[in-house]
Amino acid sequence: MAGTVSPHDAKTLIEQLPILQVLVPFCTAPLIVLIGNRHMAWLLAFVASVISLVISYVLLTQVYGGGFISYQLGGWAPPLGIEYRVDAANALVMLLISAIATLTLPFAYESVKDEIKAKDHTLFYACFMLCYTGLMGVVITGDAFNVFVFLEISSLSTYVLVAQGAGRDKRALTAAYDYLIMGTIGATFFVIGIGFLFMSTGTLNMADLADRIANEGTNRTIRAGFAFIIVGMGLKAAMYPLHLWLPKAYTFAPSAVTVLLSATSTKMAIYVLLRFLFSVYNPEFIFELNVMFLVFMPLALIAMFSASFVAVFQVNFKRMLAYSSIAQIGYMLLGIAMFNLSGLTGTMVHMFNHGITKAVLFMGVGALVLRTGSSFYNNLNGLGRVMPLTVAPIVIGGLSLIGVPGTAGFVSKWMLVQAAFENGWWFIAILIVLSSLLAVVYVWRAIEVLYLSEPAQGTKMAEAPMSMLIPMWILAIACIWFGVATDLPLGAASTAAEVLLSGSFGMVE
Amino acid sequence: MHHHHLILRVVTKLLAGTIILYALYVQFHGDFSPGGGFQAGVIMAVAFILYGIVFGLVAVQRVFPPWLVHKIVALGVLIYAGTGIYAMMLGYEFLDYGAFDPGHPSHGQHNGILAVELGVGVTVTGVMVAIYYAFAGRAPRISDEDW
């Protein structure tokens, strides 16, 4: 038998990119532990995230105009083997995640030194990379069960990362524990849903699932699976009544972790929701339309108002931003519920824009925490005059959060309003504008504290270190850049929305 | 402290080596009989945990210090991923074991599985021992003598 070598075309580096996207951060984590030096740990993590960012960009340019890249793990062809599948929708999310991680790491360098004990730094960066691996894996994979595996990788490391805040405030431990319980319930629901799907279709590959559900129609098992998946992912995405873990986790986690989580983790869950709603299940099914109109839409509207309203009355800057995140997730769900091209484009663009906006805001708070040791408003009085370079990006981020024209936040809200008008739902459009007014109130409150109140007597604060200022300013400029030059996110997002709406994940080769 | 439980101590010393040997058997025979990296890793860890239970945490940590446990956990993952990366360097897909013996892919599969299972075994050993250390390392609310 041996002897004759069957011809095999060697894979090029470009063809290997989808797996490298996951493999580079994944291998970095054990390498960091093995080397066990905290300075090297940071450097390795940073280099890995930069490589990953470059890969994301190359992948996005390949699928920007449509089409997809498929990668078979272990050479086993799908649907039996695990498949990684890159199209415009997940390439955009990957670009967001890797860009945020690359910017968070320089920020983390000083912040982690300040907030976490030195002996834990190595393991912190290892966990950071594992969390990043999980996020990337969930987004890139085309296999439903593989989503669950990566989801667990990212969740488990997230719980550890949140708990690291205990060095500053012991409540981080209960926050992490709450998140652990809620997150585990979410993941369990999700895997039960996958189990139902597997039971009635006999496959786990998303494209194959889509084909079989489309061809064989649905049954009660498949519909039950749908319900479980929506609730499970809704928990992870902090969909309105399932959001209770989020404010605590964001408030008590170390600043760098909050930046990463707020900008990527819930976005990843929204992406999975989109994948299952539009790619695996077919939105033509009446039960799914019912879910969108009768569940997503009212919950999204409640989130937009109630979470914003709660945010207005917070006295802790970090907690205020956390509640604002819940409201912003409401906008993304609203875009899904619109169920038209503009609405979905709005959701995709808002994922991206809100990611960079929240990242700059949480970085700003992190920088203030580094200098003042607190994120409560009464300790931040007048800091805008004392450290202008550090606080200015917060203002830009705040404007983008409100959706002031000329900032990134405006573009996505405009898409949503446009989508509402396309459906003839002028009432919804008014509600979007009204809830933005609430954002004006809570952002103004922060600006009032930072600029208009008197700094405490003899406050002499240095500006945040350069390693924090540079990523903050890059993000702040990005908030404006993507508000003026909207081609990249809007172009990619509308391609992504078309891909999702056509359900081409399974059908079009 | 160690003057009683003579039988336990002697039997443990006898068993520890045997358990490790059996773990290696389960590890490398996993492709012919039930077993594999996970089971082997657990059995391997049992040898250390048993030693720790009978002779105390200090004794077992002299044999298998906590820092080494952490490194081993990471090492196993790298063995697994490294096997896949080696296949990639040969121009195949990640974890395509066929790469290791292109003329006879099923042999390649065989070798590849052995390599990744070794990685699994190493990591599982480390994780199990680390969990035991974490629990055993907690200071008891009531010391053993006060019962």
What whole-number distance in Å separates Cα of residue A486 and Cα of residue A480? 10
What whole-number distance in Å separates Cα of residue A422 and Cα of residue A416? 10
Contact flag B75-A6 (C-beta cutoff 8 Å): no
Q: Least CA distance to B97: which residue of chain A?
A: A74
pLDDT digits (tens, 9 = 90+) for A378-405: 888 888 888 889 999 999 999 999 999 9
Cβ-Cβ contacts under 8 Å for A177 (sequence gap 6 or more): none
Q: What confidence tier does A508 reach under pLDDT thresholds 50, 70, 90?
A: very low
- Does pLDDT of A488 surpass 50? yes
- Give the pLDDT confidence score for residue B63 in this predicted structure: 92
Shortest Cα distance from A135 to chain B (angstroms)? 18
Using CA of residue A338, residue A343, residue A346, residue A351, what is the dihedral sign? positive
pLDDT digits (tens, 9 = 90+) for A1-21: 444 555 677 888 888 999 999
Cα–Cα–Cα angle for B120, B123, B124, nearest 5°?
80
Closest CA to A491 of A397, A331, A352: A352
Residues of chain B neighbouring A75 (CB-CB closer than 8 A): 92-93, 96, 98
What whole-number distance in Å separates Cα of residue A359 and Cα of residue A69? 29
Tell me how many domains chain A contains.
1
Contact flag B107-A2 (C-beta cutoff 8 Å): yes
- B50 CB near a chain A CB, below 8 Å? no
Residue A106 backbone dihedrals phi, psi, to 5 degrees: -60, -40
Domain membership flag for residue A51: yes
pLDDT digits (tens, 9 = 90+) for B95-143: 888 888 888 888 888 889 999 999 999 999 999 999 999 999 887 677 6
User: Would you list the domain boundaries of chain B?
Assistant: 6-139
| Number of A–B residue contacts, CB under 8 Å | 75
What whole-number distance in Å separates Cα of residue A453 and Cα of residue B47? 65
Shortest Cα distance from B137 to chain A (angstroms)? 18
Shortest Cα distance from A221 to chain B (angstroms)? 33
pLDDT digits (tens, 9 = 90+) for A150-182: 999 999 999 999 999 988 889 999 999 999 999
For B70, the closest of A16, A19, A33 (CB atoms) is A33
For A30, the closest of B77, B92, B101 (CB atoms) is B77
Q: Least CA distance to A5: which residue of chain B?
A: B103
Q: Is A8 left (phi over 0), alpha (psi -120 to 50) or beta?
A: beta
pLDDT digits (tens, 9 = 90+) for B60-82: 999 999 999 999 999 999 999 99
Higher confidence at residue A191 or residue A499? A191
The β-bridge partners of A70 are A85
Residues of chain B neighbouring A16 (CB-CB closer than 8 A): 88, 93-94
Domain membership flag for residue A410: yes
- B68 CB near a chain A CB, below 8 Å? no
Closest CA to A343 of A247, A437, A429, A276: A429
Contact flag A23-B73 (C-beta cutoff 8 Å): no
Report the percentage of chain A scoring pLDDT > 90: 65
- Does pLDDT of A287 surpass 80? no
Per the listing, tokens 């959060």 go with A401
pLDDT digits (tens, 9 = 90+) for A417-446: 999 999 888 999 999 999 999 999 999 999
Domain membership flag for residue A6: no
What whole-number distance in Å separates Cα of residue B3 and Cα of residue B24? 32
- B77 CB near a chain A CB, below 8 Å? yes
- Give the pLDDT confidence score for residue B140 in this predicted structure: 67
- Give the pLDDT confidence score for residue A4 in this predicted structure: 55
- Give the pLDDT confidence score for residue B147 in this predicted structure: 62
Q: What confidence tier does A501 reach under pLDDT thresholds 50, 70, 90?
A: confident
Segments forming the whole domain that contains residue A133: 13-502
- B75 CB near a chain A CB, below 8 Å? yes
Mean pLDDT for the stretch of residues A457-463: 74
Per the listing, tokens 């390693």 go with A467
- B95 CB near a chain A CB, below 8 Å? yes
- B63 CB near a chain A CB, below 8 Å? no
pLDDT digits (tens, 9 = 90+) for A55-90: 999 999 998 877 889 999 888 888 888 999 998 888
- Give the pLDDT confidence score for residue A332 in this predicted structure: 93
- Does pLDDT of A507 surpass 60? no
Cβ atoms A271, A348 nearer than 8 A: no
Q: Least CA distance to A34: which residue of chain B?
A: B71
Contact flag A34-B103 (C-beta cutoff 8 Å): no
Q: Supply the DSSP symbol for A509.
A: -
Shortest Cα distance from A16 to chain B (angstroms)? 7
Q: Least CA distance to A30: which residue of chain B?
A: B74
pLDDT digits (tens, 9 = 90+) for A288-337: 778 888 889 999 999 999 999 999 999 999 999 999 999 999 999 999 99
Domain membership flag for residue A93: yes
Cβ atoms B99, B142 nearer than 8 A: no
Contact flag B81-A26 (C-beta cutoff 8 Å): yes
What whole-number distance in Å separates Cα of residue A159 and Cα of residue A176? 5
What residues in chain A have their Cβ under 8 A from chain B's Cβ atoms? 1-6, 8-11, 16, 19, 23, 26-27, 29-34, 36, 71-75, 126
The β-bridge partners of A467 are none
- Does pLDDT of A118 surpass 60? yes
Domain membership flag for residue A4: no
For B95, the closest of A2, A30, A74 (CB atoms) is A74
- Does pLDDT of A375 surpass 70? yes
Give the C-alpha distances (Å, rounded to integers) separating A455 from A238, A314, A366, A374, A381.
36, 20, 19, 15, 5
- Give the pLDDT confidence score for residue A75 in this predicted structure: 84
For B103, the closest of A3, A71, A73 (CB atoms) is A3
Cβ atoms B120, B36 nearer than 8 A: yes
Mean pLDDT of chain A: 90
Total residue length of chain B:
147
What whole-number distance in Å separates Cα of residue A20 and Cα of residue A29? 14
pLDDT digits (tens, 9 = 90+) for A36-52: 888 899 999 999 999 99
For B102, the closest of A5, A9, A30 (CB atoms) is A5
Direct distance between the N- and C-terminal alpha carbons of chain A, in angstroms, rounded to an integer = 36
Domain membership flag for residue A509: no
* B82 burial via Cβ count (<10 Å: 0-12, 13-18, 19+): middle
Can you tell me whether residue B56 is helix, strand or coil? coil
Q: What confidence tier does A365 reach under pLDDT thresholds 50, 70, 90?
A: very high
